[in-house]
């Protein structure tokens, strides 16, 4: 039998044109069904997925990179999604120390979620690609919360400041890293020293910390504990201080005024004339000490004669000063603090009286 007869019929049964139409209709139906019901080449949407929240330590990053990181940014690859849910920054050694909280959504393998075919585990290195940046880091925590465990921790630091910095620092000043606030000045107390160009200062701050079992952390590895060093920077000034209290921005003890007797021995006439009742040590509007009374007495010198006899002789010019002073102190269970340091009979006390600085000895704490 001929495939195509004289009348143009295929195998003498169906017209060729009609056969082509049937073939085209069948092909269209197959293609439509493929798209409607799916095929083996399309990704399966039936793969079960779950979400875990991980803390992602990206280490020190350039500030221009950290400033691009935004909460809500997502990196997707197939059925895997990584979404930034929280960002914490702190000053680093070579850039901005960066912690991210990332929601990881992917296929399930037992109790773990897979990313790039491997389980999310502590210590694993991940790479996050944002719209205009890429950072790599280590997984340090896995949990069910979308937020990093952070807190605002009050601290008190002790430091020495130049007079220029003392004039610049203000309550409410903020330390910002990559645009984020990491610390705020809450209180400032300043005392004079033997150097007129430097002041002894206690600065209370609220610090953004990461919660840890042992102690709050300023960054992933700087413990916020007593005796640790804490930095503070603004565009106008910077300093580092030693932490003396955690959980409070004020010095220990109850503030009171206490009258004491101070002495200075062997003073020249000119020097003695510079020290008068009514003089004060003040800082930032607060009076730290006030001289109530100044009494001069001849300086007594012990001399020995050539034959070994000992005599007390009044110096013809030099005098001893006995000063009654009212000091702003803090009374604690362990003693009295003045300018943040413990004082008692026999201790040296320095007073910055503006026009002069005197170094005295405590003669009587209960004058």
Q: Where are the domains of the chain?
A: 1-42, 49-143, 151-246, 254-364
In the numeric block, which tokens belong to residue 132? 């205009």
In the numeric block, which tokens belong to residue 203? 């600065």
**Whole-number Å distance between alpha carbons of 147 and 101:** 6
CATH topology of domain 151-246: Elongation Factor Tu (Ef-tu); domain 3 (2.40.30)
Percentage of the residues of the chain whose pLDDT score is greater than 70:
86
**Whole-number Å distance between alpha carbons of 329 and 327:** 6
Alpha helices in 49-142 (DSSP H): 63-66
**Whole-number Å distance between alpha carbons of 27 and 69:** 50
Q: Exposed/middle/buried for 223, CB within 10 Å: 0-12, 13-18, 19+?
A: middle
SS3 64: helix
pTM attached to this predicted model: 0.78
Contacts of 230 (CB under 8 A, 6+ apart): 155, 157, 183, 205, 207, 218, 222, 224, 240, 241, 242, 243
pLDDT of amino acid 304 = 78
Please state which of the ranges 163-167, 169-173, 211-215, 252-256 shows the lowest mean pLDDT.
211-215
Q: Are 170 and 232 in contact (CB under 8 A)?
A: no
pLDDT of amino acid 29 = 54
When pLDDT is cut at 50, 70 and 90, the band that residue 45 belongs to is: low
**Whole-number Å distance between alpha carbons of 242 and 203:** 10
Q: Find the mean pLDDT for residues 320-330.
A: 97
> Phi and psi at residue 269, in whole multiples of 5°?
-60, -45
**Whole-number Å distance between alpha carbons of 22 and 202:** 92
Alpha helices in the chain (DSSP H): 16-37, 63-66, 163-168, 269-273
pLDDT of amino acid 284 = 85
C-alpha distances (whole Å) from 110 to each of 48, 50, 142 are 12, 11, 15
Q: Find the mean pLDDT for residues 167-183.
A: 96
In the numeric block, which tokens belong to residue 177? 């890293």
**Whole-number Å distance between alpha carbons of 325 and 289:** 7
Q: Got the DSSP string for 165-223?
A: HHHH--TT-EEEETTEEEEEEEEEEEEE-SSTTEEEEEEEEEEEEE--SSS-BSSSS-B
> Phi and psi at residue 106, in whole multiples of 5°?
-165, 180
- The reply to whether domains 151-246 and 254-364 share a CATH topology is yes
Q: Find the mean pLDDT for residues 160-173.
A: 95
Dihedral in degrees, nearest 10, Cα atoms 60, 61, 62, 65 = -160
When pLDDT is cut at 50, 70 and 90, the band that residue 41 belongs to is: very low
Above 50 in pLDDT, residue 36? no
Above 70 in pLDDT, residue 160? yes
Q: Which CATH architecture has domain 254-364?
A: Beta Barrel (2.40)
Q: Find the mean pLDDT for residues 54-65.
A: 94
Q: Find the mean pLDDT for residues 78-95.
A: 87
C-alpha distances (whole Å) from 61 to each of 66, 67, 69, 165, 179 are 7, 10, 11, 29, 14
**Whole-number Å distance between alpha carbons of 104 and 146:** 10
Q: Are 281 and 192 in contact (CB under 8 A)?
A: yes
**Whole-number Å distance between alpha carbons of 152 and 208:** 5
């Amino acid at each position: 039998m001929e495939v195509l007869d004289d009348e143009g019929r295929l195998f003498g049964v169906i017209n060729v044109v009609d056969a082509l139409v049937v073939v085209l209709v069948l092909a269209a139906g197959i293609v439509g069904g493929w798209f409607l019901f799916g095929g083996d080449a399309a990704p399966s949407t039936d793969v079960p997925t779950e979400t875990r929240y991980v803390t992602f330590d990206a280490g020190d990053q350039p500030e221009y990179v950290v400033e691009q990181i935004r909460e809500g940014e997502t990196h997707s690859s197939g059925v895997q999604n990584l979404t930034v849910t929280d960002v914490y920054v702190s000053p680093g050694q070579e850039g901005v120390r960066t912690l991210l909280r990332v929601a990881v959504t992917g296929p399930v393998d037992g109790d773990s979620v897979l990313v790039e075919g491997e389980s999310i585990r502590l210590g694993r290195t991940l790479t996050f690609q944002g719209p205009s940046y890429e950072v790599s880091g280590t997984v340090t925590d896995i949990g069910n919360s979308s937020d990093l465990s952070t807190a605002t921790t009050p601290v008190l630091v002790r430091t020495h400041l130049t007079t220029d910095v003392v004039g610049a620092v203000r309550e409410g000043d903020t330390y910002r890293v990559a645009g984020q606030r990491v610390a705020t000045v809450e209180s400032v107390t300043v005392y004079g020293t033997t150097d007129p160009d430097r002041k002894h200062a206690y600065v209370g701050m609220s610090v953004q910390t990461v919660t840890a079992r042992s102690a709050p952390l300023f960054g992933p590895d700087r413990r916020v504990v007593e005796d640790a060093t804490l930095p503070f920077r603004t565009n106008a000034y910077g300093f580092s201080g030693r932490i003396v209290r955690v959980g409070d921005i004020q010095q220990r003890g109850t503030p009171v005024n206490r009258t004491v007797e101070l002495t200075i021995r062997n003073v020249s006439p000119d020097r003695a004339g510079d020290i008068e009742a009514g003089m004060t040590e003040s800082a930032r509007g607060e009076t730290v000490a006030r001289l109530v009374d100044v009494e001069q007495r001849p300086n007594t010198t012990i001399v020995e004669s050539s034959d070994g006899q000992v005599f007390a002789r009044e110096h013809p010019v030099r005098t001893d000063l006995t000063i009654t002073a009212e000091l702003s102190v803090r009374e604690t269970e362990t003693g009295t603090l003045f300018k943040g340091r413990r004082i008692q009979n026999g201790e040296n006390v320095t007073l910055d009286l503006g026009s002069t600085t005197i170094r005295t000895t405590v003669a009587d704490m209960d004058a």
